[in-house]
Structure 1
């Protein structure tokens, strides 16, 4: 194997295994910073050893995740032994590491006592300020870089770096445990965990920046966590609602690019490419959420959003979509969780259900909302509604302005293409 394929293999393995590696090491060492350092040491060892397939130990191992864990464990034991301050704990900790159960990195079955899920609950510890919880979770569980998280939150890299470092320090000072919380403590953190799992999925489904339209590995990890949560918390409609939402939206990933690799919006997708297994899983989870709701458990925004996604999933063709029902559901969602992004999506639904002018009327209410300042979303939707209203020049201008604001390369190309199409239509 040449160096280049090996480097690519190492990158792929790291993206897939690093979060679980850090989670397992945090559980074993009880030290998040040390766990991250050990994981990085294992990565360096892989970079040094795997490309040289001609010597013993070289080449990509059959179980790369287990290889990384073995290296990290050995280095942890060595570090404990070298540290005089921890001499009394060396035997206990080293024995614990030697005897610790090796995570089955290639297992097909998810386990409730999952180290990644433990990290998610740890990242949402009440000792952390609310604004730090999603940032730390995206860093630890989502595997995003500090720069990517900073761009998603529209803050400077240094500011986000300080926020994440402070969150880690607060966790260390609080003595927070990686053990899975139970009872009232788990319920108190559950809402934050659901929110950050959704954030991770959204960053994968529509990357906030960079060259890639989607990051499927983030979507898959978020779906995995949502499934584990639904097994762990069986009586909460919102947990099942989140799983339903992610499974149904995740089913569209194969259709979000055309044969030429260009980004494709929902209504132009080849629905034959939608993953029917994920749709069935999502509809089953939604049915369970709705059953719990009828039994008196409180239903919230994830169930409503999953119900909207289900309307799309049940339509074999775009023209079969029940837009009046989607508009009604968005009206309910706007009343339950008002906000500018919900209003923008509600404008799309009303534009499809009741005509472009109805959508533009909804959109007008958030034209000057400061939360959308600098965002391409409002302009992209305005362009779409203008196009449907036959106002091509205004549509082209809106699409161009939206393209200038987005930080995602593929989305910029899509918006520029729509601007050009409206300009060419006018010239014709």
Structure 2
């Protein structure tokens, strides 16, 4: 058996080296002299999937795509944020490098919520082509570029009969099972949102139900959880750096032992950078005072069946997207006024860096110090509820983390699209 495995490894290595050697000698896919002088671009888009990259390379074929940003003459950075109507605003930044250093530009494309993926990627490609023309004009490929103009019909006055209001209904389910186990999850929501430069209003109602069943032969274990909630938020713009708002929620949750929870919180926020720069950088300070009323399903460990409390929350959020990578981190602290020992501190961080040629580093995680679990039931939790995570459990901390490092080397070009056997 060992000899057979060794034989297969040797044959695989022989085939790999033969194919690699053949390509190195024959170079059937090498660039022509003209193609080698095409504009080199690096496409930087966290939201884009493999199919999107393939589509872009196919539709914009007059440039060379490189896999390292430092090799590029133009670094294209694509960032996104949601619009008030549920669509997406794409900010496409063209950053000139090498002989194009300092020659930068920014264009935008806004998609609608109902747009299909194909419509969205067509729109992005159209804007990218427009932005690339100032650079491509200085390359040999400029002679093969044709610019057309589709004259629009006479413009018509548009009246928004909905006055910026956007409504959404969502109903979803998930089923999973085999002979001895089954799982069902149901979710539904209704939302109404209105976003203008001066005001932001979000209203939503949602509910969920989850059930698990396990057949152990001599007995069956069943577990379920359910929750319902209403959430409302009203925010008023107070200039380029300030905003004020009020949030309200009404909820119930078997996981949190809450039959009824009511929260009302006025808040104020300061952004060190202008809100208009939010796609590239934000440093926000948010402070709110929150009134909380709770009626519990079961008596709590503090012998309460209901209570009304006030707490305060301060959060600091940094969000930066630059050619070298991105940083997103937030620090939030809260405490109850009736007992400052009932508090919580949460730190979240996500860092993605391009360290040097071909090497990327990514780390993200969250750690929390927890001292404010007021709703824990006095009766505790069953083993099934603990194993299936159907109940909030007593703890003084929580955490998760992930870290990764990747290294890519070889040809700097990344032009070819070959969908055979999948991506």
TM-score, normalised to structure 1, is: 0.27
TM-score, normalised to structure 2, is: 0.27
* Structure with greater helix share of residues: 1
* Structure with greater strand share of residues: 2
